[in-house]
Amino acid sequence: MRWRLAVLVAATTSVILIAFLVPLALLVRAVAEDRATDLGAADAQSLVSVVGAAADDSIKLAAERLAVESGRPVSVFLPNGTVVGTPTARTPAVELAARGQSLTADLDGGREIVIAVQGRADGTAVIRTVVPATAITEGVARSWLVLAVLGLVLVVLGMLVADQLARNLVRPIIDLSAVSRRLANAELTARAEPVGPPEIRDVAAALNDLAERIQELLREERERVADLSHRLRTPLTALRLEAELLRDPQEAVQVTDAVDALERAVTGLIRQARRRTATGADAGSDAAAIVAERVAFWSVLADDTGRTVKVDLAPGPLPVAVPADDLAAALDALLGNVFAHTPDGTSFAVRLAPEGPLVGLAVADAGPGVPDGLARRGVSQAGSTGLGLDIARRAAETGGGRLELRDGADGGAVVLMMLAPPRPPRTRNAAPRRHRRPRR
């Protein structure tokens, strides 16, 4: 935008300067020609009194002296055909002047000035001088150069002024764009500084209001999630009491352990929601430690259902940008899908390894595969909520990664989570807080 404004100003200034400087340059040339012609005519006029009354010797002496002083050829054509001063042939202009008509004529090498001198007893004499082309154009090139330099300076000055104005206009827009990107990256504390023209200040104020409103909505949503999760404690307590009343101690222990695991999940959900509300962001996690922990948990259930588990985990730490709770929930969702949608005894594999700048987490099974369209949120063919793959996808994309569904080499499905590394901390100056305007 700055470049376009500078080019626009340069083009406009150039057109205006051309409109003024071209006529001015032509005027300078015309003035120089008239000045040289008037000077030559004045020199020739100075001989009129001598030619009209003096003797031929005096006329010759005066003509030669004037030629030396002016640096131009000066000739006097007497009525008897004699030429004194600078020798030259009679020209058509001289013939006309001999009839009593003074004039100025253009020559190839300059401009010819002839003056008729009447009143002599023997007839009309003619004074002739030639102004050379160099004298006619003397100083014109220098004047044109001055005008060109002046025009160039004005164009450059206009571009500098336009660039400064464009910079003052573009800088707030660039700042607004940077703040928008930070908000898009979940940096909800980012605020724009209301600077620049009034229109841009209004946009900055509106963007700040939008960011504050987003924070309010997220805070309300997460508090509702926390409240809803807290309400689950009551039925969990009832389940714990029911488990204690079971007659079979082994079943009571199993149910109690399941209730404890569910309660831990609910507690983690509450803490996670409120932590996000307080900080507005989540830290990364060590994928190697989390995947190893969750695989060990699911391996017990795999033994009970006769499934073979193949684990290939790269040595840690493997830092990723996904929070620990989200990564654990995503892996639980993927492994839960394996147990829910494949028959007992179906083997599966979990692989974690760096893949370039990302970390790849793959869950593969030897089941029937994933039908087309099953990866959409809320879509399931087994009576479930249809959120498992979507949870994994959102966890991967939250940290800057992606989720891929592939067919296994020997059948089955492969779900690959590409996890991005944590973003480096950025130092930035906090934007000044602005009091919210009353809503109308």
Instruction: Classify residue 21: in a domain, yes or no.
Output: yes
SS3 of residue 85 by DSSP? strand
- Global pTM value: 0.44
212 shares its domain with 337? no
Give the structural domain span for 393.
282-424
Instruction: Classify residue 149: in a domain, yes or no.
Output: no
The alpha carbons of the chain give a radius of gyration, in whole angstroms, of 49
Q: Which CATH number is 345's domain given?
A: 3.30.565.10
- pLDDT for the residue 425: 59
320 shares its domain with 338? yes
What is the spatial distance between Cα 276 and Cα 273, in angstroms, rounded to a whole number? 5
Does residue 25 contact residue 147 with C-beta atoms inside 8 Å?
yes
Token readout for 78 is 């007497």
- pLDDT for the residue 418: 92
Token readout for 440 is 């109308």
- pLDDT for the residue 435: 41
97 shares its domain with 206? no
Q: Which CATH number is 213's domain given?
A: 1.10.287
7 shares its domain with 133? yes
Instruction: Classify residue 361: in a domain, yes or no.
Output: yes
250 shares its domain with 380? no
Instruction: Classify residue 243: in a domain, yes or no.
Output: yes
Per-residue model confidence as pLDDT tens for the chain (440 residues): 677 777 888 888 888 888 888 888 899 888 988 898 889 889 888 888 888 888 888 888 988 898 888 888 999 999 888 899 888 888 889 888 888 888 988 888 788 999 999 888 888 899 999 998 888 888 888 888 998 898 888 888 888 888 888 877 788 888 888 888 888 887 888 888 888 788 888 888 998 898 888 888 887 777 777 666 656 666 777 777 777 777 777 777 777 777 777 777 766 666 665 555 444 445 678 889 999 998 988 888 888 888 889 999 988 789 998 888 788 888 888 888 888 888 888 889 999 999 888 999 999 988 776 665 554 444 444 444 356 688 888 888 877 888 988 887 767 788 999 998 887 655 444 444 444 443 33
In the block, residue with structure tokens 């004037």: 66
192 shares its domain with 276? yes
- The residue among 141, 173, 199 that closes a domain is 141
253 shares its domain with 298? no
Give the ranges where 54-197 is alpha helix by DSSP (H). 56-70, 92-98, 133-136, 140-184
What is the spatial distance between Cα 9 and Cα 160, in angstroms, rounded to a whole number? 10
- pLDDT for the residue 429: 44
129: CB partners within 8 A, 6+ apart: 40, 43, 44, 70, 72, 73, 74, 75, 112, 113
Q: How many domains does the chain have?
A: 3
410 shares its domain with 303? yes
- pLDDT for the residue 382: 46
Give the ranges where 305-354 is alpha helix by DSSP (H). 324-341
10 shares its domain with 124? yes
Instruction: Classify residue 176: in a domain, yes or no.
Output: no
Instruction: Classify residue 175: in a domain, yes or no.
Output: no
197 shares its domain with 295? no
Measured at the CA of 65, the angle between CA 60 and CA 70, to 5 degrees, comes to 130
302 shares its domain with 318? yes
Does residue 192 contact residue 176 with C-beta atoms inside 8 Å?
yes
Cis peptide before 323 (omega within 30 of 0): no
- pLDDT for the residue 115: 92
Instruction: Classify residue 380: in a domain, yes or no.
Output: yes
Token readout for 371 is 């039908």
- pLDDT for the residue 351: 92
- pLDDT for the residue 234: 63
Residue type, 423: R
215 shares its domain with 239? yes
Instruction: Classify residue 398: in a domain, yes or no.
Output: yes
